[in-house]
Amino acid sequence: MTSTRNVRDHLSTLWDELADFDPTQAEEARNHLLGGISKLIGARNAAWVGAVRLGEPQLGDPVKGWRPRAIRQLHPSQGTEELGREQARLLEAGHVDDSTIANVAGTGRHRASLLSELVPEGWFEGDYYRAFYLGAGYRDAIWAGVPINEDAESYFGFYRGLDQEPFGAVEKEIVDQALRGLRWFHRRQFLGEGVGVASAPLTPLERRVLSHLLQGRADREIAAALGQSDHTTREYVKRLFRKYGVSSRTALMALWLGHANP
């Protein structure tokens, strides 16, 4: 087992490496963090979920208005992505699993939990576990929640395969430590996806245009890089400004550098 000192050294190196990613590399930085933590705890796959609270919760809503707005996997596959979309569809329809309810109950504070700590007795014999864990090839998980503000939270899931032992307290503590003290990173994930800070999540093409904007490229350069007309690119730039509630490239960059509140 990795010693406590070695874990600290690995985490310090991982945090330093994260700082080397520039603002245009939110996705790359996220995958680097997920991969680094997965290696430390022996996880087969990992996921990041950007969730927001949509206004005042409706009566009887077990997750108090919280909804996922972006789900990204470290090692995506067609099967696991389809299962993720089905999970989101069920939640939107009001069919909420006990594990999700328990995760949301902790909103507002940094936390990490073993899957077994989130669910009631007998849950592992139920349909949800069979469909969305065993069906994806996962035996166990650790879930962590990180508040961004009162209406936005990051969720991190780490999974072990069917041929692996369940996670334990040591792995949970590593996940908890790894995700603390990275407020700038968590905020940048939401900026990069347009979740919680934009009026609507960004499309894949909008994310590509945003990346070029943050690198200081002119509209004509972006158009050439993406194979668009100048007019189309200008429309995408205007759309991004509207979504982020800014009126200039300078104001957009200020969001990323932490000089303005989203």
253 or 189, higher pLDDT: 189
Give the pTM: 0.81
Q: Which pLDDT band, with edges at 50, 70 and 90, does 52 fall under? A: confident
pLDDT tens by residue, 2-12: 677 899 999 99
pLDDT tens by residue, 153-175: 999 999 999 999 999 999 999 99
Q: Which pLDDT band, with edges at 50, 70 and 90, does 261 fall under? A: very low
The mean pLDDT value of the chain amounts to 90
Question: What pLDDT is attached to residue 191?
Answer: 85
Residue 103 to residue 141: CA distance in whole angstroms: 13
Question: What pLDDT is attached to residue 55?
Answer: 66
pLDDT tens by residue, 165-206: 999 999 999 999 999 989 889 988 988 888 766 667 788 899
Q: Which tokens is 232 given?
A: 């189309």
Q: What is the DSSP string of 181-238?
A: T-HHHHHHHHHHHT-SSSSSPPPHHHHHHHHHHHTT--HHHHHHHHT--HHHHHHHHH
Length of the chain: 262
List the domains of the chain with CATH numbers. 4-180 (3.30.450.80), 204-257 (1.10.10.10)
CA 19: distance to chain centroid?
18
